[in-house]
Structure 1
Amino acid sequence: MAYFVTGATGFIGRFLLDELIDHREGPIHVLCRASSLGRMEALVRQWGSERVQPVVGDLGQPGLGVDETWVSEHRGTIDHFFHLAAIYDITADDATNDAMNIEGTRHALALAEALEAGCFHQVSSVATAGDYHGRFDETMFEEGQPLPSPYHRTKYESEKLVRDEARVPWRVYRPAIVVGHSETGAMDKIDGPYYLFPLLKRLRDNLPAWLPLVGVDLGDTNLVPVDYVAKAMDHLAHLPGRDGEAFHLVNPEPQPVVDMINAFCAAAGAPRFATPVGRGITTAGPLGLVPARLRPLSLMTAVVRTGPAQLLLDQTLGRLGLPAEALAHTSFPSVFDARITEKALAGSGLSVPPLESYARNLWGYWEENLDDATGRDPKAVAALKDKYVVITGASSGIGQVVALKVAQAGGVPVLVARGKEKLEATKATIEQRGGRAEVFPCDLSDLEAIDRLCEQLTAELPSVDYVVNNAGRSIRRSLKLSQDRFHDFERTMQLNYFGAIRLVMGLMPQLHDQRSGHIVNISSIGVQTNPPRFSAYVASKAALDAWSNVVSSEVVGHGITFTNVHMPLVRTPMIAPTKIYDKFPTISPAQAADVVLKALVDKPHEINTALGTAGELAHTIAPRTAFRVLNLAYQVFPDSAAAKGHQPASQAAAAAEEAPATDHRETEQMLMAQLFRGVHW
């Protein structure tokens, strides 16, 4: 079986290629422009399959510009022709939509017919339903529906081309709004609900999460993750006897726009919206007798689409990154019936996951990879452009996101960690986005390896402008379970303290020669609050704080400064083994990275949270009370299963009796976690 795919490097196309490579056999021919051949060959190497074969052509040329000799050689051999190359952007203009969506489909059809392809698979969109009010099923197409934008019109007309003019068998797929991967969150551009994310970030950063906001009923929308779309297309394309059908790749249940926004608010930690006047009021009683087009939501949508309203929105919300055109098409008046698709997928195990189950993955990927706020911050760009920033622990978590943000501001992140492969992957990501990065693998628990690293850095880099001591080890274990584990204290001190100061001391001659340099230590809120079970970890961070405070007075005259960041609990791989943290309020790696960027740009002596400062003050003015509260936390939170696993069986049994797992105990834990947000318990 052989395949031809247009748009293979696009968002949906890349995931469809993954499915074809993993689950199907035979060659996969992918269209690419001559100017993009190098990039395509790099992607082919990334896919790791010799079955993927680039074919030079152009969407804007008749027959896609594919060489006639190639067509002759492959005539009658292509079983499935997938046409994905198109514009999937509600804000695109008429000319772009016409060229890509209509003419591109015309040229793809011509090539499929010349190849005598077994089936032409057209990726259309639910936009073909336009402003149809009511249930729109998969057998419906020409219903006289209004088409309110160039995107809607060209999606409709390109599907009509396939239906009316195709001389080979065809199938049509109509995805709803396609968002990132439900497991990884991977997304390649800002579109659909992603336009709202900068606004939600501002709400999170400026308002408490518990504050309810007043919202309005904005109708229903429909989101599907890209992995579902790709898997469903692969399955449906290979079912026998389904030619000439359209399939709705949608969430079978309409999703209220406010619910969608609140799912992302919850993922971001932003306040949520309540709708005092919902559709229970606007569609019931006397208003229920009003035609749908004359109801409040329809009238509001009509007003939003007018020229003056679009101009006003562009000058207000548009400045926050929310295009007026996107706002005008947030909701769907149609309800998309997907019963044919659901029946066809029966037994495959494929279904649309609830948004709440993957909203955090989408938000996290956007915040770490697509949020361009740092690159648009003139202060950050001025401080970091062309500066070399050494970042330890840069292969994941906070360090990796700091590296991405430094590169976005024009700086050169110098990536340091044990795993070279992960560092190279981060470097490749940065370079694909037009940035620069350097990779220096090093085991930071090995002091001699750090010495060699310092020699390399000073010899190979033109300067060392910043150092971010981010690499660290955390151990959560009570003293009574640590009696035979003194090595825990040694290992923690080795990485968190000795490794950090060895690196700074090794670079200090270079910093003195430059008469400049700034060191950012990622410390912990625990240094201020002294939470139980973290004696090894907090002591190591406190030692680094103290060392930096003393050394600061010695080197400040040479322009060398320090910032200690007392970071609250962050959702990183380091805390993943402690399962109790799954329910704790935490900040994201991207939020933590923003704090580190503030330390790099503003260079304060320390950065604290309000709770950390309060804890420090409590220990100063009422130490006995503070320790009583901490002892209460010690009683409420149990030792981890891993910690108990290292003690004799008799002690483990006794510990289990001391802290039985009950609903009451879990309630106490969550109450304390919410009250002392960000503290490591």
Structure 2
Amino acid sequence: MAYFVTGATGFIGRRLVDELVARRDGAVFVLCRAGSLARLQTLVDRWGADRVFPVVGDLAEERLGVPEEWVRSHVGTVEHVFHLAAIYDMTADAATNEAMNVGGTRHALELAGALQAGCFHHVSSVAAAGDHHGPFTEAMFDEGQPLPSPYHRTKFESERLVREESPVPWRVYRPAIVVGDSVTGAMDKVDGPYYFFPLMKRLRDTLPGWLPLVGVDLGDTNVVPVDYVAKAIDHLAHAPGHDGEAFHLVNPEPQPVVDVVNAFCAAAGAPQFATPVDRRVTGGVTGLLPRALRPSSVVGGLLRAAPVKVALDQTVGRLGVPAEVLAHTSFTATFDSRATERALAGSGIAVPVLESYARTLWGYWEEHLDTSTGDDPRIREALGGKRVLITGASSGIGQVTALKVAQAGGVPVLVARGKDKLEELRATIELRGGQAHVFPCDLSDLDAIDRLCEQVTEELGGVDFVVNNAGRSIRRSLKLSEDRFHDFERTMQLNYFGAIRLVMGLVPSMRAQRSGHVVNVSSIGVQTNPPRFSAYVASKAALDAWSNVVSSELVGDGITFTNIHMPLVRTPMIAPTKLYDKFPTISPAQAADLVVEAMVERPHEINTALGNAGAIAHTVAPRLAFRVLNMAYHVFPDSAAAKGVDAGGSRESEQIMLARVFKGVHW
């Protein structure tokens, strides 16, 4: 059994090929333009070069431009043709939609007929339902529904071609709005709800998260993750007895737009929207009105009016939200997926609840798709062309900082123990047009640090910035540490001795170039002194003190320091402490923004309001501060005990309450 896939390099196509390679036997042929062979080869290597084979062609040509001799040699051998190559973009113009969606489908059908394929699998969209009002089943197609945009019309017309002209048996798949992978968050581009993420980020950064905002009931939408779509297509394509059927790859329950927005706002830490007046209040009244006069219809019509689109482009459009997208945030149809659910029964394939993976999607966008760092001319001026050595660059804050530095035109110098992860990060940066250098090093080994400094100075001529981010955190009370003095030694070795050894090794080259800036990722714990972190806080406090002293010695040489007293960050370092799962934290991307700010503005310190309050409390009322911390000491268990009787109940409520009051403190 062989497969032929168009759009294999696309968002859904790549994951479908993943499924075919992992779960099915036989060769997988993928259509590729001649100019894209190099890009495809990277994917082929990942899939397994012995089973995936590129076929040069073009969507715009008859039979997809596949050479006649190739077709003759494969007649009758291709069981499944998957056609995914299309425009999935509401903002694309009519001509592009027509050529890609309709013309491409026609040419794919021609090839399927020439190959005498067993089945033609067409990936359409729920957009084929247009502005149909009410339930829309998988058996429905041409219901006289309005098709409000070129995208809707060409999705409808391409599906009509398959239904009416396919020379071989066919199956149609209609995904709803497809977002990133529910496990990894991976997403190719800004699309659908992602257009609204910069606005959510701005709300998060300017307003407190507890502040309720007034929202409007904009109807229902439907969002599904790409991994569900790929797995479902693979399963449905191989299920017997379903030729000539369409499948709705949708969330079985319509999702109110405001609920989807709030799920992502919660993931971002932004204020959420309340809708004091929604359809439950207005439904009885508006239900008596003609459909054209109902609020949702009136709002939808206004959003699609040319003058309103112009106004929107000049307002929300400048925030990255196209007017076309705003006009299609909700669906007038409700997509019935019962037939699809029956066909998937027993497979274990189901749509996950959005709230269970919204934070994963947000995190990936914030770390990989948010372009605000590179768009800021102030940051580009400060970091453009600069060499930025980042320790702990293989994950967490260090990894995201490297991506942001590269986005701004800087050159990250990646340092961590694991070479493989650093090489992956460098490859990611280079694929995005950036440049990076990899220097594996165990920063707890002082001799290795000396060799690193010599190598960096010799090969790069030194660096412009050093970000001391690598660190070790140990959460354990003194009572349980009495026979574990090595915890203190190891923590001090990496967090203090390793950090200052690195800076001391690079200072001569900085002094020679009369410039340099060191950013120390310290901790809010240095200001607040939370219990159970004596080893960790002491090592960070030592680094702070050392930096404060040598700052006065080096400022005349153009070398400066910033200590960031970082609040609790959602990184792999805190993952073992399960009670942190419900605590308010900042994301690695937010932490990386602070690091970037430290490099651009070069302040002596970056603190949080709570951290400053803690420092003042220890100065003004130390006894009271210690009493409060002692209460927290008894409320929060040691890590081992957290798996026992203290895991929930009233004690958990106390923990969460304290965590929210003292947001960002490491308890």
Give, as a single letter, the amino acid of the residue that structure 2 aligns with 1:291.
P
> What CA distance in whole angstroms lies between the structure 2 residues aligned with 1:250 and 1:643?
39
> What CA distance in whole angstroms lies between the structure 2 residues aligned with 1:423 and 1:161?
48
Give, as a single letter, the amino acid of the residue that structure 1 aligns with 2:400.
V
Query: Displacement, 1:287?
Result: 1.9
Does structure 2 conserve the Cα–Cα contact (< 8 Å) formed by 1:21 and 1:49? Answer: no
Aligned residue among 671, 674, 680 for 2:657 = 671
1:606 maps onto 2:631 in alignment: no
CA offsets per residue over residues 588-640 of structure 1, 9 Å max, x none? 00010011110011111110000000000001111111111111110111111
Give the match for residue 45 of structure 1. 45
Give the match for residue 345 of structure 2. 346
**Could you say what secondary structure the match of 1:475 adopts?**
coil
Give the match for residue 332 of structure 2. 333
Does structure 2 conserve the Cα–Cα contact (< 8 Å) formed by 1:392 and 1:415? Answer: yes
1:426 maps onto 2:425 in alignment: yes
Identity %: 75
Give the match for residue 188 of structure 1. 188
| Within-5 A mapping of 1:637-648 | 637-641=636-640
1:133 maps onto 2:119 in alignment: no
> What CA distance in whole angstroms lies between the structure 2 residues aligned with 1:19 and 1:661?
39
1:16 maps onto 2:2 in alignment: no
CA offsets per residue over residues 525-560 of structure 1, 9 Å max, x none? 000000000000000000000000001000101110
> What CA distance in whole angstroms lies between the structure 2 residues aligned with 1:230 and 1:260?
22
Give the match for residue 618 of structure 2. 619
Query: Displacement, 1:60?
Result: 1.0
Does structure 2 conserve the Cα–Cα contact (< 8 Å) formed by 1:133 and 1:292? Answer: no
Query: Displacement, 1:21?
Result: 0.5
Give the match for residue 401 of structure 1. 400
Give the match for residue 564 of structure 2. 565
Does structure 2 conserve the Cα–Cα contact (< 8 Å) formed by 1:216 and 1:278? Answer: yes
Relative to the length of structure 2, the TM-score reads 0.99
Change (3 A) 1:147 1:643: closer
Does structure 1 conserve the Cα–Cα contact (< 8 Å) formed by 2:495 and 2:540? Answer: yes
Does structure 1 conserve the Cα–Cα contact (< 8 Å) formed by 2:132 and 2:145? Answer: yes
> What CA distance in whole angstroms lies between the structure 2 residues aligned with 1:37 and 1:348?
35
Give the match for residue 106 of structure 2. 106
Give, as a single letter, the amino acid of the residue that structure 2 aligns with 1:315.
Q
> What CA distance in whole angstroms lies between the structure 1 residues aligned with 2:527 and 2:187?
38
> What CA distance in whole angstroms lies between the structure 2 residues aligned with 1:177 and 1:307?
25
Give the match for residue 582 of structure 2. 583
Does structure 2 conserve the Cα–Cα contact (< 8 Å) formed by 1:477 and 1:643? Answer: no
Does structure 2 conserve the Cα–Cα contact (< 8 Å) formed by 1:282 and 1:295? Answer: no
**Could you say what secondary structure the match of 2:310 adopts?**
helix
| Within-5 A mapping of 1:268-347 | 268-284=268-284, 286-347=285-346
> What CA distance in whole angstroms lies between the structure 2 residues aligned with 1:661 and 1:19?
39
Give the match for residue 178 of structure 1. 178
> What CA distance in whole angstroms lies between the structure 2 residues aligned with 1:661 and 1:326?
45
Q: Where does structure 2 lack aligned partners over 5 or more consecutive residues?
A: none
**Could you say what secondary structure the match of 2:241 adopts?**
coil
Does structure 2 conserve the Cα–Cα contact (< 8 Å) formed by 1:232 and 1:350? Answer: yes
Give the match for residue 649 of structure 1. none
Does structure 2 conserve the Cα–Cα contact (< 8 Å) formed by 1:417 and 1:442? Answer: yes
Does structure 1 conserve the Cα–Cα contact (< 8 Å) formed by 2:462 and 2:506? Answer: no
Give, as a single letter, the amino acid of the residue that structure 1 aligns with 2:255.
Q
Give, as a single letter, the amino acid of the residue that structure 1 aligns with 2:664.
G
Q: Where does structure 1 lack aligned partners over 5 or more consecutive residues?
A: 645-655
> What CA distance in whole angstroms lies between the structure 2 residues aligned with 1:353 and 1:661?
26
> What CA distance in whole angstroms lies between the structure 2 residues aligned with 1:162 and 1:661?
56
> What CA distance in whole angstroms lies between the structure 2 residues aligned with 1:269 and 1:49?
43
**Could you say what secondary structure the match of 2:116 adopts?**
coil
Query: Displacement, 1:294?
Result: 2.1
Give, as a single letter, the amino acid of the residue that structure 1 aligns with 2:612.
T
**Could you say what secondary structure the match of 2:78 adopts?**
coil
Query: Displacement, 1:282?
Result: 2.0
Give the match for residue 648 of structure 1. none
Query: Displacement, 1:642?
Result: 7.6
Does structure 1 conserve the Cα–Cα contact (< 8 Å) formed by 2:429 and 2:435? Answer: yes
**Could you say what secondary structure the match of 1:217 adopts?**
coil
Does structure 2 conserve the Cα–Cα contact (< 8 Å) formed by 1:282 and 1:296? Answer: no
Give, as a single letter, the amino acid of the residue that structure 1 aligns with 2:442.
D
**Could you say what secondary structure the match of 2:252 adopts?**
coil
**Could you say what secondary structure the match of 1:216 adopts?**
coil
> What CA distance in whole angstroms lies between the structure 1 residues aligned with 2:647 and 2:174?
49
Give, as a single letter, the amino acid of the residue that structure 2 aligns with 1:664.
S
1:532 maps onto 2:518 in alignment: no
Query: Displacement, 1:470?
Result: 0.2
| Within-5 A mapping of 1:470-489 | 470-489=469-488
> What CA distance in whole angstroms lies between the structure 2 residues aligned with 1:426 and 1:347?
39
1:410 maps onto 2:409 in alignment: yes
Give the match for residue 142 of structure 2. 142
Give the match for residue 446 of structure 1. 445
Query: Displacement, 1:47?
Result: 1.8
**Could you say what secondary structure the match of 2:247 adopts?**
strand
Give, as a single letter, the amino acid of the residue that structure 2 aligns with 1:372.
T
**Could you say what secondary structure the match of 1:289 adopts?**
coil
Query: Displacement, 1:48?
Result: 2.7
**Could you say what secondary structure the match of 1:439 adopts?**
strand
**Mean CA deviation greater in 662-671 or 196-205:** 662-671
Query: Displacement, 1:292?
Result: 3.0
CA offsets per residue over residues 492-516 of structure 1, 9 Å max, x none? 0000000000000000110011110
Change (3 A) 1:662 1:390: closer
Does structure 1 conserve the Cα–Cα contact (< 8 Å) formed by 2:200 and 2:270? Answer: yes
Does structure 1 conserve the Cα–Cα contact (< 8 Å) formed by 2:579 and 2:642? Answer: no
Change (3 A) 1:643 1:311: closer
Give the match for residue 552 of structure 2. 553
> What CA distance in whole angstroms lies between the structure 1 residues aligned with 2:641 and 2:481?
12
**Could you say what secondary structure the match of 1:96 adopts?**
helix
**Could you say what secondary structure the match of 1:440 adopts?**
strand
Query: Displacement, 1:240?
Result: 1.0
> What CA distance in whole angstroms lies between the structure 2 residues aligned with 1:680 and 1:88?
44
Give, as a single letter, the amino acid of the residue that structure 2 aligns with 1:446.
D
Does structure 1 conserve the Cα–Cα contact (< 8 Å) formed by 2:4 and 2:29? Answer: yes
Give the match for residue 544 of structure 1. 543
**Could you say what secondary structure the match of 1:5 adopts?**
strand
CA offsets per residue over residues 31-54 of structure 1, 9 Å max, x none? 101111111112111223410000
1:32 maps onto 2:59 in alignment: no
1:116 maps onto 2:102 in alignment: no
Change (3 A) 1:336 1:661: closer
CA offsets per residue over residues 264-285 of structure 1, 9 Å max, x none? 011000000000110012211x
**Could you say what secondary structure the match of 2:54 adopts?**
strand
Does structure 1 conserve the Cα–Cα contact (< 8 Å) formed by 2:215 and 2:273? Answer: yes
Give the match for residue 520 of structure 2. 521
Give, as a single letter, the amino acid of the residue that structure 2 aligns with 1:486.
F
Give the match for residue 666 of structure 2. 680
> What CA distance in whole angstroms lies between the structure 1 residues aligned with 2:220 and 2:360?
22
Does structure 2 conserve the Cα–Cα contact (< 8 Å) formed by 1:451 and 1:503? Answer: yes
Query: Displacement, 1:297?
Result: 1.0
TM-align CA RMSD: 1.1
> What CA distance in whole angstroms lies between the structure 2 residues aligned with 1:495 and 1:353?
41
Query: Displacement, 1:661?
Result: 5.3
Give the match for residue 96 of structure 2. 96
Query: Displacement, 1:247?
Result: 0.4
Give the match for residue 55 of structure 2. 55
